[in-house]
């Protein structure tokens, strides 16, 4: 029986992942700082008090696992210490965050190595994770993809950890805000934020902020795209208003901005149903003709991340990925992904269609 340990099991993603893995035949252990915060784990799940910042306790926990899944955060502060502990214990590793590695190759000389003969998958969540895996799924329909527009976001409250990681990405990539991929390279200042944009399959207008992350740039290179635009979408204006002060001068106080994002997003979602979405539009050649395709996914953010992490756990235990350290979205097999997501709790909508079939397009960012 495969022993799967989930660090951060009392959080939104961790608890959703435990529920997703229940009944798969794995022996599950939830590692939490305070066991009282996990009142109703799935039947048969062990619960252990583990602090990811305690090296001895973390090492002991990882030694009891065949697969360690890291759902704790923020990644910007926790870094790669859980990956290193899992590698020392000889366990496979899956992380829903980027382990602080977003701006370097996970296989590079300065990156922590997986245990010999084991796999370590970073960014096995919604963003990063599905945000690379699903474009790869969509690209399978084409003989060649030339251009892609990605919209990610929706209406969801930032947790303190998620806000800290989001701000860390902004601070590390100040030159990536407003950038786009054009002609095989990143072009600074190519796009502008805008409000009241309508996206296919989303219920209400959203505010859009362009940001070409390292993940997006890797995707453009992997698919040999001529053009890529990546827009963060926020329903309402409070969150984008909070971000407006970073334009042109970068992030001056990360902790303060993270707190502002938590408060602003909390006000935005008050009394409303939260959701996250990925809307992907691709254009290229299919059977020798210029065609467009669209893929739209919506659902509860933690459940979508848990669905991606479950795919990663299945792949590392089933030998679906090579040994070594990888970005999950770049190496997870694309076959069966859409069927697995459709069966995932928390997925509200998933559709792949010809782009011409999608209702009203986006005024900016349309291919």
**Unique residue bearing structure tokens 């407003």:** 178
Q: Are strands 67-70 and 3-7 parallel, antiparallel or unpaired?
A: parallel
Q: Are strands 194-197 and 185-187 parallel, antiparallel or unpaired?
A: unpaired
Query: How far from the centroid of its chain's Cα atoms is residue 298's Cα?
Result: 13
Q: Quick check: bond before 341 cis, omega within 30?
A: no
Return the pLDDT at 76.
Answer: 79
Beta partners for 284? Answer: 145, 291
| pTM score of the predicted model | 0.90
Helix axis angle, 301-318 relative to 130-139, nearest 10°? 70
pLDDT tens digits in sequence order for the chain, 367 residues long: 899 999 999 999 999 999 999 988 999 999 999 888 777 888 889 999 999 989 999 999 999 999 999 999 888 788 899 999 999 999 999 999 988 776 556 655 566 788 899 999 999 999 999 999 999 999 999 999 999 999 999 999 988 888 888 888 877 777 888 999 999 999 999 999 988 899 888 889 999 999 999 999 999 999 999 999 999 999 988 888 887 766 555 677 888 888 999 999 999 988 899 999 999 999 999 999 999 999 999 999 999 999 999 999 999 999 889 999 999 999 999 999 999 999 888 899 999 999 875 443 333 333 3
- The domains located in the chain, with CATH, are 3-122+302-340 (3.40.50.720), 130-300+346-357 (3.30.360)
Contacts of 14 (CB under 8 A, 6+ apart): 6, 7, 8, 30, 32, 69, 71, 72
* Residue 99 per-residue DSSP state: T
Return the pLDDT at 111.
Answer: 64
CA-closest candidate to residue 101, choices 90, 112, 93, 91? 112
DSSP 261-323: HHHHHHHHHTTS--EEEEEEEEEEEETTEEEEEEEEEEE-HHHHHHHHHHHHHHHHHHT-S-S
Tokens of 323: 């040994």
Query: How far from the centroid of its chain's Cα atoms is residue 130's Cα?
Result: 6
Helix/strand/coil (H/E/C) assignment for every residue in 215-259: HHHHHHHHCCCCEEEEEEEECCCHHHHHHHCCCCCCCCCHHHHHH
Length of the chain: 367
CA separation for the pair 138, 130 (Å, rounded): 12
H or E stretch at 127: none
What does each C-alpha distance from 262 to 221, 280, 322 come to in angstroms?
33, 27, 38
Return the pLDDT at 283.
Answer: 96
CA separation for the pair 339, 137 (Å, rounded): 12
């Amino acid at each position: 029986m495969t022993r799967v340990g989930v660090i951060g099991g009392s959080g939104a993603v961790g608890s959703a992942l435990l529920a997703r893995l229940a009944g798969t035949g794995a022996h599950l252990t939830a590692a939490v700082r305070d066991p009282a915060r996990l009142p109703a784990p799935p039947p048969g799940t062990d619960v252990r008090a583990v602090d990811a910042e305690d090296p001895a306790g973390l090492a002991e926990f990882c030694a009891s696992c065949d697969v360690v899944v890291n759902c704790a955060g923020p990644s910007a502060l926790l870094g790669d210490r859980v990956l290193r502990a899992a590698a020392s214990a000889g366990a496979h590793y899956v992380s829903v965050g980027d382990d602080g590695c977003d701006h370097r190759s996970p296989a590079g000389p300065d990156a922590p190595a997986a245990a010999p003969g084991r796999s370590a998958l970073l960014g096995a969540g919604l963003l990063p994770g599905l945000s690379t895996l699903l474009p790869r799924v969509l690209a399978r329909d084409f003989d060649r993809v030339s251009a892609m527009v990605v919209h990610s976001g929706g209406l969801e409250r930032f947790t303190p950890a998620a806000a800290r990681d989001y701000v860390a990405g902004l601070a590390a990539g100040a030159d990536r805000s407003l950038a786009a991929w054009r002609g095989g390279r990143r072009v600074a200042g190519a796009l502008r934020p805008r409000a009241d944009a309508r996206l296919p399959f989303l219920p209400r207008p959203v505010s859009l902020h362009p940001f070409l992350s390292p993940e997006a740039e890797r995707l453009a290179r992997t698919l040999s795209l001529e053009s890529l635009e990546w827009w963060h979408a926020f329903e309402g204006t409070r969150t984008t208003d909070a971000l407006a002060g970073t334009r042109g001068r970068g992030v001056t106080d990360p902790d303060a901005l993270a707190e502002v994002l938590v408060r602003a997003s909390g006000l935005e979602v008050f009394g409303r149903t939260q959701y996250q979405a990925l809307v992907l539009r691709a254009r290229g050649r299919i059977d020798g003709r210029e065609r467009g395709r669209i893929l739209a996914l919506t659902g509860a953010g933690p459940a979508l991340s848990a669905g991606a992490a479950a795919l990663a756990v299945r792949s590392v235990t089933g030998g679906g990925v090579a040994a070594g350290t990888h970005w999950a979205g770049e190496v997870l097999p694309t076959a069966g992904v859409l069927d697995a997501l459709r069966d995932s709790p928390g997925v509200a909508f998933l559709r792949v269609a010809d782009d011409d079939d999608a209702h009203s397009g986006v005024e900016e960012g349309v291919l």
